[in-house]
Amino acid sequence: MSSSASRTRSSQRLKMTRLRRCAFASLITIAILIVMVAPVPAAEVWLDVSKSGDKKIVLALPPLAAVEGAEETTLRQTLENDLAVTGYFRLLPLAGPPLAQAEKERGATQTDHAAWAAFGAELLLRVDVARQAGRLVLRATLFDVGARAQLLSREESDAPAEAPRLAHRLSDAVVRALTGGPGLALTRIAATWSDGTSPKRVVIMDYDGRNQRPLSADGILALYPAWFPDGTRVAYVTYRQGRPEIVAQNVTTGQVRSLAFFPGLNASPAISPDGRLMLLVLSRDGNPEVYRMAVDGSELKRLTFTPAVETSPVWSPDGAQIALVSDQGGGPQIHLLGANGGRMRRVSFMGNYATSPDWSPRGDRIIFTAQIENTFQLVLLDPATGDQQQLTFDAEHKENPAFAPNGRHVVYSQGRGSAYRLVIIDTVTGERTRVTREKGSFTSPAWSP
Amino acid sequence: MKRGSRMVFTILMVPTVGALLLGCPKKITKTEATPQPKVSESVGVTRPKAGPTTDDSSATKQQAGKQTDEQRTAQLLASRGEDIPIKESPTIEFVDPSSEDKAVLKPIYFEYNKSNIRPEYQPVLENISKWLVKKVGSQLLIEGHCDERGTDEYNLALGERRALAVRRYLIALGVSSDRVHTISYGEEKPAVSGSDEAAWSKNRRAEFKVSAQ
């Protein structure tokens, strides 16, 4: 080879190597970058709640115990209600599958998956309740009938009087085993209650209406409960000092602490998702306006500046935005506002009176109540697109909606005149369940975290 | 690097970097930081006719100068329809007026969802301002109320606005701002029970309580 030819060839080889190396390095970089920005697939769950439509899973729930006393009946009824309210399941009628009966008679210990599948069951929840040493002992197994796989196995005991809580904990365990997320069965609802003669006061109850007890003091008007995000306290408006004051009360100890008692109105408390700030409505500047404040009373900042009424502020779950009511257009409508203030943007366009917004903990929707043909109905709004969808159509007023922590269920106050009750609606299926069991009128519900 | 390989690198990197920069859509909408300026003409506010300014005879001689200034400012704000801040909360007790005083301290009624003072009630407020001149040392509590329709939270704020509208009107007539106080009960204390316009119209009101003597 001539020296120049060899030089050319070696320099060509050098060029090729460099080019290859460069291309290789680029491809590796791109690959790494693609992996970094690609969406991470969610952990595998049996039921993906973000995709669930209203198609229900068939869940077979055979009889719980050989002998059904009062507590066993309570346990079963509570469990059935808890599972039904989730909206995920269609429960196979309890009296039927004679399969359970046949298995019992045979003394069979193995589950005949094929037989249950033939009945249409997709899931089988086997629960045995027995009495031991004065306690109820609950053993439960959840089977995926089609895959013949056990999804959950659980045993616990409690005093017979705690039968509902045994059921609640089992229902939540089933929901967690299937969806990976928490259930509703141990959540609570705060609301205002009056028997018609006494002033409204704040009460707390289990989400199914059990264990209702008063929180605020007897005989003193108290309104608008709002939970703290850690579930330990409820903020509300009280007239204990003769005019509206915002306080926070510990739901366990009962201790009350004043949060806001400025001259004029103090109303509509809403605690931020991180628990550090609150929104409130004050009239200290001569007009009801929305303010933001740290819960310890520092950092008071006025957020609205119109001559109109602004009220009912609520936080977005990321704490960056606020939904509120303003009547600057003549009648009250829902508006959005940045958490630091600025220009309000109207988002409700159904009827001429829209109030009581609440923001889903999932961030994707806002619910409010709007007067449509003289009846207050619930409306769902997508804050990103502005799309609105009427959720209810029947004759009674539906007011003060509040989302559950799962962002799917909503509790609200339904009625006419002076008789209101609390109802839960599943926003996916539209099904409703009555909550309140006691007499009187219930309004202003708030769902615990 | 040689030119060829540099070109290859750039061709491969540019779309990648571009994709990264455009990648995650922001969900949070940006809002302006500056607050809106106050508007001097508020919705539904009726200006009182120009009337004689009344001396605030409840002021002590030493404080007379200071109160007159504040009072003048408050009157100016009131006549322009602007918000008048609430400086202090009353610490005194308020009671129902005597039957004699009730003849003057009559309730003011409002239209549905409105807080403006209707012309037919302006004479009532003028009489009340004259009554306050005579009743040295008396203070008024203006209670704002709504009918049962609508949601309770909005009604609490609307009741407050009704009480503040009456307060503003009285201050524009020359009443000192530290003699008139407000409270809202929203829809919680109706005067008349019933679910028809006859009852509702009687519940959309501002009522007066007087300082205990």
How far apart are the C-alpha atoms of A227 and A240, rounded to whole Å?
Answer: 20
pLDDT (tens digit per residue) in A211-236: 999 999 999 999 999 999 999 999 99
**What is the amino acid identity at position B168?**
R
Question: What residues of B are in contact with residue A309 (Cβ under 8 Å)?
Answer: 154, 157-158, 161
Coil vs helix vs strand at B121? helix
What are the structural domains of chain B? 64-211 (3.30.1330.60)
How far, rounded to the nearest angstrom, does the alpha carbon of residue A160 sit from its chain's CA centroid? 29
What is the enclosing helix (H) or strand (E) of B158? helix B152-172
The band of A186, judged by pLDDT with boundaries at 50, 70 and 90, is very high
Residues A152 and A74 in one domain: yes
Is the confidence at residue B28, as pLDDT, over 50?
no
- A8 touching B (Cβ < 8 Å): no
Nearest to A377 by CA among A408, A407, A356: A356
Residues A327 and A358 in one domain: yes
- Do the chains contact at A311 and B164, CB–CB below 8 Å? no
Range of the domain at A130: 57-179
Asked, for residue A28, whether it belongs to a domain, the answer is: no
Residues A193 and A139 in one domain: no
Asked, for residue A120, whether it belongs to a domain, the answer is: yes
Coil vs helix vs strand at B64? helix
Cβ neighbors of A153 (< 8 A, separation 6 or more) are A140, A141, A142
Q: What is the mean pLDDT of residues B14-43?
A: 44
Asked, for residue A34, whether it belongs to a domain, the answer is: no
Q: What angle do CA A121, A127, A133 make, to 5 degrees?
A: 175
The band of A399, judged by pLDDT with boundaries at 50, 70 and 90, is very high
Q: Residues B177, B180, B186, B189: what is their CA dihedral angle, to the nearest 10 degrees?
A: 180
Is the confidence at residue A49, as pLDDT, over 50?
yes
Strand partners, A415: A397, A420
pLDDT (tens digit per residue) in B152-191: 899 999 999 999 999 999 999 999 999 999 999 999 999 9
CATH number for the domain spanning A170: value is 3.40.50.10070
Question: What residues of B are in contact with residue A342 (Cβ under 8 Å)?
Answer: 31-35
- Do the chains contact at A288 and B157, CB–CB below 8 Å? yes
How far apart are the C-alpha atoms of A325 and A281, rounded to whole Å?
Answer: 11
What ipTM did this prediction achieve? 0.83
How far, rounded to the nearest angstrom, does the alpha carbon of residue B72 sit from its chain's CA centroid? 19
The reported pLDDT for the residue numbered A359 is 98
Higher pLDDT, A289 or B34: A289
The count of domains in chain A is: 2
The DSSP 8-state label assigned to residue B132 in this structure reads H
Coil vs helix vs strand at B109? strand
pTM: 0.82
Mutation site for A-interface testing, chosen from B2, B10, B76, B156 by largest number of A Cβ within 10 Å: B156
A373: left (phi over 0), alpha (psi -120 to 50) or beta: left
The band of A15, judged by pLDDT with boundaries at 50, 70 and 90, is low
Q: What is the mean pLDDT of residues A65-80?
A: 86
Nearest to B153 by CA among A266, A169, A197: A266
Residues A104 and A240 in one domain: no
Asked, for residue A47, whether it belongs to a domain, the answer is: no
How far apart are the C-alpha atoms of B160 and A261, rounded to whole Å?
Answer: 15
Asked, for residue A46, whether it belongs to a domain, the answer is: no
